[in-house]
Amino acid sequence: MSRSVADRPEAGAPAFPVLGAISFSHFLNDMMQSLLPAIYPLLKGGFDLDFGQIGLLSLAYQITASLLQPLVGLYTDRRPQPFSLVVGMGSTLCGLLGLAFAPSYPALLAAAMLLGVGSSIFHPESSRIARIASGGAHGLAQSLFQVGGNFGSSLGPLLAAFFILPRGQSSLAWFALVALGGICVVTPLGHWIRNNGHARSRSGAATRASVGLSPAQRRRTLAVLIALMFSKFVYLAGLSNYYVFYLMSRFDTSPQDSQIYLFVFLATSAGGTVIGGAMGDRLGRKRVIWGSILGVLPFTLALPYVGLPATVGLSAVIGFMLSSAFPAILVYAQELTPNRIGAVSGLFFGFAFGMSGLGAAALGALADRTSIEFVYQICSFLPLIGLLAIFLPAGDAKPRNDRA
């Protein structure tokens, strides 16, 4: 019986055309997904929402994605679905149309959940495809895959500022055409997976232990990685969801200028994603994880107390450093359980979405009770959780027959 690609050594050069296509589809997917938080100021005014309702809207989107992603990944590990990305793009398309024409807050919640379903289907399978096409350079492949999503996310504020805000909520419907374009991109990827033997069932495949770690050690290591993810994504939830409101409240910036500053933060975050995966391949993933999360602490502590130019500059540094951690964390986790690539990818992407949603809801409620400035002061201490990286195994979790 032919083995799944997750169970045999990757050899040769990375399949860059496939990596380029999956990165571009990630760009399109996350660009569409990012439109929801980017239009929060529009929805807040149009539906007379408070920060708590904004947080619940984000929670509806993020929790839908986080709960489903591990289940989708586990299912596709056992029964690969080469055209599941098409289904995910279709759900995102429906979510965008729902947001464009929602007449009430409950309708907004339903549309946000459709976006979450689309994301939950897209990320586990697309991350698995990136690993299949990596040629063994797993960190590089995950960086190329994730940078597409980060650049797509960074465009959301600009699209909101220059296209959606001037034209109103219904202009979101035009982005259904982007979803159709995404379907055209991911359909050939489904054919590539099927035609190259990567869509076969994993039943009967040999299970490969990882790096000599016991099951208890693997569980402890995964728990540390999840704690580090909590630190990273709750802090980033505060920036990505409330940065516009923070700038408008503290510095009296206009909505358009605030969206541009948010774009700067998101674009530098995309750059950090590229660097993090490649550095993890060369220097070791533990070093990148340690430096990215704990190393950002001086900048987060300073952010709530500086002026506007320094705030924009520090947020760019913070976004760059924190984002460099995720490719290293994800590949580290995949190499702990190399026979469960989809499930692990879904777990970590899902946890990222879930923590972002819970963080957004909790921080929104806290902002209503105190102030948005106080929220940023509290969040500045989250990178201290990076101290837990000391409990990661000394060596990277790399299968012996994988390329470093």
Nearest to 146 by CA among 273, 265, 234, 30: 273
d(C-alpha 282, C-alpha 331), whole Å = 13
d(C-alpha 99, C-alpha 32), whole Å = 11
206: helix, strand or coil: coil
- pTM confidence score: 0.67
pLDDT for res 198? 56
One-letter identity of residue 155: L
Nearest to 189 by CA among 83, 76, 345: 83
d(C-alpha 246, C-alpha 76), whole Å = 41
If one counts every other C-beta atom within 10 angstroms of the C-beta of residue 296, the result is 25
Residues 6+ apart with CB under 8 A from 157: 34, 38, 244, 259, 260, 262, 263, 266
pLDDT for res 301? 95
- Please give the DSSP secondary-structure letter assigned to residue 162: I
pLDDT for res 185? 92
One-letter identity of residue 393: P
DSSP codes joined into one string, 42-99: HHHHHTT--HHHHHHHHHHHHHHHHHHHHHHHHHHHHS--TTHHHHHHHHHHHHHHHH
pLDDT by 10s per residue, the chain, length 404 = 333 333 333 446 778 888 889 999 999 998 998 888 878 888 888 888 888 888 888 888 877 877 788 888 777 777 777 788 999 999 999 999 999 999 999 999 999 999 989 988 888 888 888 888 877 777 788 888 888 887 887 787 788 878 888 888 888 899 999 999 999 999 998 888 777 755 554 444 434 444 567 778 888 888 888 888 888 888 888 887 888 889 999 999 988 888 889 888 888 887 787 777 777 777 777 888 888 888 899 999 999 999 999 999 999 999 899 888 888 888 888 778 777 777 777 777 777 767 777 787 788 888 888 998 999 999 999 999 888 888 888 655 444 444 33
Torsional sign, CA 182, 127, 56, 300: negative
| Integer-rounded Cα radius of gyration of the chain | 20
DSSP codes joined into one string, 113-128: HHHHHHHHHHHHHHHH
d(C-alpha 371, C-alpha 363), whole Å = 10
Contact 344, 73 (CB under 8 A): yes
pLDDT for res 399? 41
Enter the tokens of residue 60: 């509806």
d(C-alpha 238, C-alpha 360), whole Å = 6
Enter the tokens of residue 200: 């076969």
HSE-up (13 A, CA, CB side) for residue 124: 33
